[in-house]
């Protein structure tokens, strides 16, 4: 690390933290069931729609045999869990999910 960060910088950043929820989507036992491609397309359509609405701030599909994706959500964890429970892939048993409350810093973004 070549950048020095002061205690004051840490405190100033911490003061800007806002509550978010992180949803972790994991592949489930029915990942390759008949009709999986169509169900996954509906999952993708729903996730992109939630992103467009602002419910998902950051959407990160993951190229893994176990982890399907990560979503940083702008709603409380209880609401995020309700949203994820209604996901087509979750309902079909293709994915499982965990939701955890977290904090983030407004303005953080993925590089373009």
73-91 per-position pLDDT tens digit: 999 999 999 999 999 999 9
18-70 per-position pLDDT tens digit: 999 999 999 999 999 999 999 999 999 999 999 999 999 999 999 999 999 99
Q: Is 35 exposed, middle or buried (0-12, 13-18, 19+ CB in 10 A)?
A: exposed
Residue 55 and residue 74 in contact, taking contact as beta carbons nearer than 8 Å: yes
- CA distances to 10, 35, 72 from 80, rounded to whole Å, are 29, 26, 10
- CA distances to 5, 21, 58, 59, 107 from 111, rounded to whole Å, are 21, 21, 12, 13, 12
Check whether 1 has a pLDDT greater than 80.
Answer: no
d(CA 94, CA 8): 46
Instruction: Please enumerate, as own/partner, the contacts of 63-67 that have beta carbons within 8 Å and a separation of 24 or more.
Output: 64/27, 65/27, 66/26, 66/27, 67/24, 67/25, 67/26, 67/27
pTM of the model: 0.90
């Amino acid at each position: 690390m070549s950048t020095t960060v002061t205690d004051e910088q840490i405190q100033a950043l911490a003061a800007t933290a806002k509550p978010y929820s992180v949803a972790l989507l994991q592949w489930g036992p029915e990942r390759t069931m008949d009709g999986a491609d169509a169900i996954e397309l509906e999952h993708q359509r729903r996730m992109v729609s939630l992103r467009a609405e602002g419910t998902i701030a950051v959407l990160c599909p993951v190229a893994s045999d176990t982890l399907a994706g990560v979503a940083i959500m702008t709603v409380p964890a209880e609401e995020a869990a309700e949203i994820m429970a209604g996901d087509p892939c979750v309902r079909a048993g293709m994915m499982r999910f965990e939701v955890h409350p977290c904090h983030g810093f407004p303005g953080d973004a993925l590089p373009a």
